[in-house]
């Protein structure tokens, strides 16, 4: 807003001069209001410019029949650990694995001396990135530090052709407001600079995307090293400890690739893309997974008996197309139970119903 202090015309100067000096000054409240209005106008202009840029990028992507895919790094595509957190035996085992991979065109284990870290890529990652990049514009979004993100991206995309600089990471600790806090644990979709209607997100931590749940494909956490065993898999040893790993051909990334290929195929099956939203396509794909299932819950400790529909497990099953209940009837197909000695579980055994635990 342009605030002017001069009179309307030069011929009125004499008359204006005779007025009180206070009459040609804006009060503090007026100035504050003017500043607020100016800020609002600037914000609107910036938002409009951003939307125009996002729509332009969308048009470019659609011409190439591509959507956008935002990828988390840690526990989604890979697992990293500080070298100091491993014992000598584990360290020796990893160096032997490095030697075995030498000369292979696509390695999965890396020692990062500059960061004093080990990084293990999730099996199937190279095939996933190769095929996904043909259907999606790939972005990386990590809450890891910038130096760490740069090192990982050099491994995943040494030529720079996959991500083409589309990497979002955290800066130094000094960049974080109030030293971090909860705000530093949230991912801001605005930084992606794409329209929500054509973006999918793959992340193992759903809480970091509180405003973009409809874009999100939740990924089972990948925990290769033992340090993450307690928070993620309390009953199982890590892959390193058990000398095992996911399978590349039928593992998590292979399954996820199938999902995003289906979504891409359905999205671009429409004759016109005007008004088509990938979030609706994702929701449609999710509903097909448990379509036809009626799930009976038994003895879920954290489920409120009076309001079971508020439990995340109940909501997730409904999201994936299931009908949920706490009452026994013959139309039930699955019983989800923590205690396999419960009455509902016995009923399921007797009536030939599927019995699964909450991790199912």
pLDDT at 114: 93
Percent of the chain with pLDDT over 70: 79
Is the Cβ–Cβ distance between 74 and 80 less than 8 Å?
yes
The pTM (predicted TM-score) of the whole model is 0.76
Is the Cβ–Cβ distance between 54 and 101 less than 8 Å?
no
pLDDT single digits (tens) 176-188:
433 445 557 899 9
Q: From residue 270, how far is each of 89, 201, 277 by CA, in Å? A: 56, 22, 11
Q: Report d(CA 358, CA 360) in Å as an integer.
A: 5
Q: Minimum mean pLDDT among 22-26, 78-82, 112-116, 245-249: which range?
A: 22-26
Written as six digits, the tokens of 321 are 């197309």
Q: Report d(CA 276, CA 37) in Å as an integer.
A: 35
DSSP class of residue 220 equals P
Phi, psi of 141 (to 5 degrees): -135, 110
End-to-end CA distance of the chain: 59
| SS (HEC) of 133-180 | HHHEEEEEEEEEEHHHHHHHHHHHCCCCCCCCCCEEEECCHHHCHHHC
Residue 171 banded pLDDT, cuts 50, 70, 90 = confident
Phi, psi of 143 (to 5 degrees): -90, 5
Residue 124 has a CB neighbour count (10 Å cut-off) of 22
More confident position, 302 or 90? 90
Q: Report d(CA 123, CA 22) in Å as an integer.
A: 75
Q: Report d(CA 199, CA 136) in Å as an integer.
A: 9
Beta carbons within 8 Å of 315's beta carbon, 6+ residues apart: 309
CA-angle at 194, arms to 209 and 203, nearest 5°: 30
Written as six digits, the tokens of 70 are 């935002």
DSSP class of residue 19 equals S
pLDDT single digits (tens) 236-289:
788 998 899 999 999 999 999 999 999 999 999 988 888 899 999 999 999 999
Q: Report d(CA 175, CA 7) in Å as an integer.
A: 47
Q: Give the up-direction half-sphere exposure of residue 46: CA atoms within 13 A in the CB hemisphere.
A: 8
Written as six digits, the tokens of 75 are 């526990």
Between helices 252-267 and 278-289, what is the axis angle to 10°?
130
Is the Cβ–Cβ distance between 82 and 117 less than 8 Å?
yes
pLDDT at 36: 58
Q: Report d(CA 232, CA 221) in Å as an integer.
A: 7
- Tell me: pLDDT of 172 over 60: no
pLDDT at 111: 95
- Tell me: pLDDT of 173 over 60: no
Residue 194 banded pLDDT, cuts 50, 70, 90 = very high
Phi, psi of 112 (to 5 degrees): -110, 85
Q: Report d(CA 222, CA 226) in Å as an integer.
A: 11
Written as six digits, the tokens of 271 are 């004759």
Name the β-bridge partners of 229.
none
């Amino acid at each position: 807003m342009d605030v002017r202090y001069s009179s309307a015309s030069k011929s009125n100067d004499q008359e204006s001069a005779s007025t009180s000096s206070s009459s040609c000054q804006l009060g503090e409240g007026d100035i504050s209001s003017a500043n607020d209005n100016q800020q609002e106008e600037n914000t609107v202009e910036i938002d409009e410019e951003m939307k125009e840029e996002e729509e332009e990028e969308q048009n470019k992507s659609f011409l190439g029949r591509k959507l956008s895919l935002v990828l988390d790094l840690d526990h989604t595509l890979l697992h990293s650990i500080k070298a100091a957190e491993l014992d000598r035996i584990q360290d020796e085992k990893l160096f032997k694995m490095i030697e075995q991979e030498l000369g292979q065109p696509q390695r999965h284990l890396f020692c990062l001396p500059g960061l004093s870290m080990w990084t293990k890529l999730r099996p199937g990652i190279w095939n996933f990135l190769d095929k996904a990049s043909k259907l999606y514009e790939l972005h990386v979004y990590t809450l890891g530090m910038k130096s760490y993100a740069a090192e990982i991206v050099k491994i995943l995309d040494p030529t720079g052709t996959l991500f083409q600089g589309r990497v979002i990471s955290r800066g130094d600790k000094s960049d974080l407001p109030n030293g971090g806090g909860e705000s530093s644990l949230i991912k801001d979709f605005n930084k992606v600079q794409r329209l929500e209607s054509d973006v999918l997100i793959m992340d193992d931590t759903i809480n970091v995307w509180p405003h973009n749940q409809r874009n999100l494909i939740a990924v089972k956490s990948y925990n290769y090293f033992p340090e993450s065993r307690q928070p993620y898999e309390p009953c199982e040893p890590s892959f390193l400890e058990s000398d095992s790993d996911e399978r590349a051909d039928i593992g998590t990334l292979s399954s996820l690739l199938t999902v995003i290929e289906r979504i891409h195929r359905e999205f671009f099956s429409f004759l016109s893309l005007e008004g088509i939203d990938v979030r609706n396509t994702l929701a449609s794909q999710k509903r097909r997974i448990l379509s036809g299932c009626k799930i009976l819950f038994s003895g879920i400790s954290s489920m409120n008996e009076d309001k079971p529909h508020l439990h995340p497990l109940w909501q997730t099953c409904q999201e994936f197309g299931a009908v949920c209940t706490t009452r026994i009837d013959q139309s039930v197909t699955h019983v989800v139970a923590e205690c396999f000695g419960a009455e509902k579980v016995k009923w399921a055994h007797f009536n030939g119903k599927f019995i699964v635990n909450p991790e199912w």
